[in-house]
Chains A and B, each alone.
Chain A
């Protein structure tokens, strides 16, 4: 039986090993080397790349990343939870609404992000219309700022909040809310005491699924932030491309894994609870 089990699990281990652990090991080795004169890798082995992380410049980029990812996650929750609740109570329209939630995925991520640029830029749709209507004299600075990045992140990751929360709400027995009302709890009390605690597994999964990719995002801050809202992902990308400092880029990307792992431990520490 155990042998059979091992046999069935073998492909999984091969995939995880070759596509996760081996690359991680390579990245780790890179992070311990030194940048070559013209890029690439060179000896000697050193921890210097990790020491450089303490530079206030990089710390501020990290802080900015956490802030933007945190705000984006919070907004996803504030928009996504009521939306999921609405969908879960929509009877026969449920499937249509769920389909609409995931419709943006039918279009390439890059195309969607460019679409936002066309909407937000100085000569974009929003500014053109507002100017034509005589509401503004000069274009509003809608693009290339942290708010535009957060907007892009929320737009990109909202479905990852809606779907797990919806799934948790679907599993919630509606008579529990009736019981709460029956025992004297007004809607506000029954939301705080029954609805939110019982949908927490979905909220938690949504936070994980939104916050972690937001933290590592680089395309959205690059295109919508225009370099004015640099995130850790952009720093890593820069090191591997423009700066040609692979060892430092490797160190940054590995360092990013630590807060992510901490977050996962924090949210999943209670035993016996499943992620989704």
Chain B
């Protein structure tokens, strides 16, 4: 695998607190990579170490095989899209986009800065907005300017720090699709930081799930969801029913009076609530122990009656198996 970016055992300690604790990861060239984790898990610090805003306490950061350590942010061929976009409020859209080219003229694709900027403005559909100031732009436009400002420099890796979290949910879904197609067409390696598992699953070629300063698992979205390596990954990415210490996804869990005779494990449970979701019926049930379980029944399956005690069951092969 051709890794454009590689982290080897990177740690960052603040006095006694280990914010990043031995993180190793690789970003394949041209891939959409995500660093997924809850807030405070160290993912933003990891990004800041790659961008050069923080120096790691130990470990190695390689870009195209060369160490980045000791290099100032302005000497690293990576670029960041900040969470709040950090557009320069006193500069116009065009000046924002041309900002980096002015200091890194060697990154200019075709002769003039103006021409490179024009191409990116076109690509990001910002035509007609060139002379606006950031304050006059909508949230989605601001995001596109932030992306354009970085993309015009053709960085080896584009670092995105929760770029969708500042937007309203409807716009977020639309821009998510745009982001993915942009990454494909630009062919630039993305390292996308997010706490939103849905975002990570839908966008990424490769996800690293981070928890308490460590990477718990790296894999494709399918691997992360279907074969979570740890309990944390399983419960952070999607919902998990914990039954006697065994984890089962809601869609692998069934419920009803007629349990199959063989090949399944069954547990008695009481249906509490049934909700029709269109593609499935979601049942909230309670075990005898009082634990709550979510069951997603496919269309056409027998529908439990709330208050009635029946059984839930699942196939042993659908049980999640963990490393620990």
Contacts and interface: CB of A to CB of B under 8 A. Distances in A.
Interface of A: 173, 175-176, 178-186, 189, 193-194, 197-198
Given A173-B84, A184-B103, A178 B90 contact: no
Contact of A178 (B82, B89, B104, B150): B82
Contacts of A175: 82, 84, 86
B195 interface: no
Interface stretch (B71-79, B178-186, B222-230, B257-265): B71-79
Nearest to B99: A183
Given A175-B84, A179-B80, A185 B90 contact: no
A184 B104 contact: yes
Question: Could you say which of A181, A186, A194, A197 has the most chain B C-beta atoms within 10 Å of its C-beta?
Answer: A181
B91 to A, nearest CB: 8
Contacts, number: 62
Interface of B: 51-53, 72-74, 79-80, 82, 84, 86-90, 99-100, 103-104, 107, 149-150, 153
A194 B84 CA distance: 17
Given A175-B82, A186-B103, A181 B90 contact: no
Given A182-B51, A182-B73, A185-B74, A176 B103 contact: no
9 contacts: A175-B82, A178-B73, A178-B80, A179-B86, A181-B73, A182-B80, A183-B149, A183-B150, A193-B99
A195 B123 CA distance: 30
Determine chain A's interface SS by DSSP, over half rule: helix
A26 to B, nearest CB: 44
B90 A197 contact: yes
A193 B103 CA distance: 11
Contacts of B82: 175, 178-179
A189 B84 contact: no
Given A178-B53, A198-B88, 5 more contacts: A173-B86, A175-B82, A185-B74, A185-B99, A186-B103
A182 B99 CA distance: 11
A97 B80 CA distance: 34
A182 B159 CA distance: 11
B86 A184 contact: no
Given A173-B84, A175-B82, A178-B73, A183 B103 contact: yes
A189 B103 contact: yes
B161 to A, nearest CB: 10
B72 A180 contact: no
Contacts of A197: 90
A185 B149 CA distance: 13
Contacts of A185: 74, 99-100, 103
A249 B88 CA distance: 49
A181 B72 contact: yes
A224 to B, nearest CB: 40
B86 A178 contact: yes
B73 to A, nearest CB: 4
A178 B74 CA distance: 9
A180 B99 contact: yes
A45 B82 CA distance: 69
A176 B80 CA distance: 12
B5 to A, nearest CB: 15
Contacts of A180: 88, 99
Contacts of B86: 173, 175-176, 178-179
